[in-house]
Amino acid sequence: MKADPTLQRRLVDLAELDLRLGSLDHRRRSLPEQATVDTLEAERRAAVESAARARIHVEDLDRAIAKLSSDLDAVRRRRESDSAALAAGGLSDRQATELEYELASLHRRQENLEAELSELTERHEAVDADVRHSGAIITDLDARLGMATTVRDTALAHLEDSVTATTAERARQAEDLPADLLDLYTRSAQQAGVGAAILNGGRCSACAIDLDRTTVAAFRTAPADDVLTCPECGVIVVRTANS
């Protein structure tokens, strides 16, 4: 293939622009600011799940406390009724004994219920504190996430500006290049990861391999408009005064 040496030199500029675009794309996919946002989002999800579990626990304790309170009220009312009946007198010995036995049983039952209610109330206070703590964590994470998102968006905007500018510059560089030369460049880029490189001395700057003397001699004596490729990596090699 033949191509004006000036056009061949532009292939190297095109390759540099493609490498820059690849670097920008890699940075966009591995943006540290995005990693910070991802970490904070994961922490927030964990905090929300923790708060939800704590709220469910609080609701369970609310129901348990309500039932205990209802049972305790019933026991107290029964004790008051039995105590009033016993105080009123007029009962047989057997009836009085049964009431006294029941009052003792109710007293123990009331003590047990009160102890259980006290324990549940303490647990309720602790879990409720967990809910409030989780809420505070979520509020803090929301603030940090908002700031991190702004920083991420700013970084992405700068990257997009760089991508837009570089893409426009690449289009200008490739604008009037021959189609067959561009096709060869594209195949080289797909196969080797770079489309064109300088032949620096006897070394291909794409694969950094020193070419054999016969190849170097053939390259140096080839017409200036010959389009040459590296026998090692297949990249288009562009000759300069240092080649």
Count of domains in the chain? 2
Question: Does 66 share its domain with 168?
Answer: yes
Two tokens, residue 214:
């016969």
pLDDT of residue 125: 95
β-strand partners of 236: 196, 229
Q: Is residue 161 part of a domain?
A: yes
Helix (H), strand (E) counts: the chain: 5, 5
Report the predicted TM-score, pTM, of the whole model to 2 decimal places.
0.70
pLDDT of residue 93: 86
Out of 134, 158, 174, pick the residue that ends a domain: 174
List the CATH number of the domain containing 43: 1.10.287.1490
Strands 196-200 and 236-239: parallel
Distance CA 23, CA 29 (A): 10
Q: Is residue 21 part of a domain?
A: no
Question: Does 192 share its domain with 159?
Answer: no
Query: Residue 226 in 3-state DSSP?
Result: strand
* E-state strands within the chain: 196-200, 203-204, 209-210, 228-229, 236-239
Which residue range forms the structural domain that includes residue 40? 31-174
Q: How sure is the predictor about 201, in pLDDT bands with cuts at 50, 70 and 90?
A: confident
Q: Quick: pLDDT tens for 97-114.
A: 999 999 999 999 999 999
Segment 88-99 shows an average pLDDT of: 88
Q: How sure is the predictor about 89, in pLDDT bands with cuts at 50, 70 and 90?
A: confident
Give exposure, 213-242, as e/b (b: 16+ Cβ within 10 Å). Answer: eebbeebeeeeeeebbbbebbebbbbbeee
What is the pLDDT of the chain when averaged over all its residues?
A: 94
Q: Is residue 24 part of a domain?
A: no
Q: Is residue 118 part of a domain?
A: yes
